Structure 1
Amino acid sequence: MEQISRTWWLVLIRGIVAIIFGILALIWPGITIYVLVIFFGAYAIVSGIFALFAAFGHGVQSKAWLIISGILGILAGIVAFVWPGITTLALLYVIAFWAIFTGIAEIVAGIRARAVIENEWMMIVGGILSAIFGVLLIIWPASGALALIWLIAIFAIIYGIVMIVLSFRFKKLAPQT
């Protein structure tokens, strides 16, 4: 824990960058998806770089995952800059198919959970909504892309807030000098 607490500020910066990314996406909703892809690319590269820096201050178990996360973030950012059109469509379809498959998995899990838990219908309804969302993205990619901007922006802001709170919790763990 002490190693994580020493790099609390990296988590803070990741949170701030996520919030800035989310706010910019909300402020300029009329700007094309191209700009969002550029924002995403910049965020992915910055986040990847900070994940790599953080990896060298952590224990062996989390180090590999932070390195992988950092490299993937940097690569995703580069792809977004080099092929913004393909990135936009690919990102949309990845999210669509992810929503469909996770929706189906939640429906199956909800049905199987009937014997174990109550209110499993909530998991089933969540799965249905996720699958419908994915299908709608495939049917109407342009409308889905605009809606996706808002969802990504809101996610980035919430994620950023969580990272900032987490960074201050890590800071409290730091040894006082």
Structure 2
Amino acid sequence: MNETLLRNWWLLAARGAIAIVFGVLAIAWPAVTLLTLAALFAVFALLGGAVWICGAVKNRRDDPHWWMLMLFGVVSLAVGVLATFNPAITLLTLILLMGANALVSGVLDIVIAIRVRKFIRGEWLLLLSGVASIVFGLIALLFPLGAGAVMLATFIGVYALISGVLLLCLSVRVRSWSRINAARSSPAAGTI
């Protein structure tokens, strides 16, 4: 899994970009109906899950821990499919699904950050993204009806923006690190 993330920094960048777009849309339309919010969340979960599944499948032969990325992708994809095919989902169920998805995502982000800490600097960005996901997930699970739909959309948007920015920053660090290590390990680097 470490090598997968190091060689494919774009997985982190894509996930971060998806989260930022989702966050901006959620904040821009705070009075959006619950049905539209469910659709935005479904797209967010489906695209995020698809990114991780593609990365896992692409690197399954090279990375013995590819299944962790696959697990994360399958969980996000399953939640997205559930939200897609049940658009009349209640507010409580939607919040609980979002909270559960954020909690699982956060735990997996922290596990990945711990695993790559020996290879890259800036793993704390992924760690912070995981902590933000866990905090959001716990709040959503513990206080599902504590806020109105407008406050919920804003809260979700801010969470997605923070996570997205942290993931994009991490992807830039991983990309730089990968390029430096690729240059060090290339045969031409030893002959100069």
Q: TM-score, normalized by length of structure 2?
A: 0.63
The percentage of counterpart residues that share the same residue type is 29
After TM superposition, the runs of 4+ consecutive aligned structure 1 residues lying more than 6 A away are none
- In structure 2, how many angstroms separate the alpha carbons of the residues matched to 1:77 and 1:67? 15
Please name the residue that 1:161 is paired with. Answer: 165
Partner amino acid, structure 1, of 2:92: L
Task: After TM superposition, list the pairs within 5 Å mapping 1:60-139 onto structure 2.
Answer: 60-61=64-65, 63-86=66-89, 88-93=91-96, 134-135=142-143, 137-138=144-145
Higher relative contact order (CA 8 A, sep 6+): 1
Q: Match of 1:134, as an amino acid?
A: L
- Tell me by how many angstroms 1:93 deviates: 4.2
> Which amino acid counterpart does residue 67 of structure 2 have in structure 1?
A
Instruction: Identify the residue that residue 31 of structure 1 maps to in structure 2.
Output: 32
Change (3 A) 1:167 1:36: same
- Unpaired segments ≥5 residues, structure 2: 101-137, 187-192
Match of 1:170 in 2: 174
Q: Aligned pair 1:4/2:5, yes or no?
A: yes
Equivalent AA in structure 2 for residue 170 of structure 1: V
Instruction: Report the structure, 1 or 2, having the larger helix content.
Output: 1
Coordinate RMSD, CA, aligned: 2.7
Task: Decide which moves more: 145-154 or 85-94.
Answer: 85-94
Deviations 1:47-68 (A, max 9, x none): 001101222436323x122111
Q: How many residues align?
A: 140
5+ residue gaps in structure 1? Answer: 98-129
Aligned equivalent of 1:106: none
| Cα deviations by residue, 1:107-160 (Å, 9 ceiling, x for unpaired) | xxxxxxxxxxxxxxxxxxxxxxx78x935x44x5xx443322111100100000
Q: Is the 8 A contact 1:10 1:50 kept in 2?
A: yes
TM value normalised by structure 1 = 0.68
8 Å contact from structure 1 (residues 96, 134) kept in 2: no
Alpha carbons of structure 1 residues 49 and 94: separation in structure 2 relative to 1, 3 Å: closer
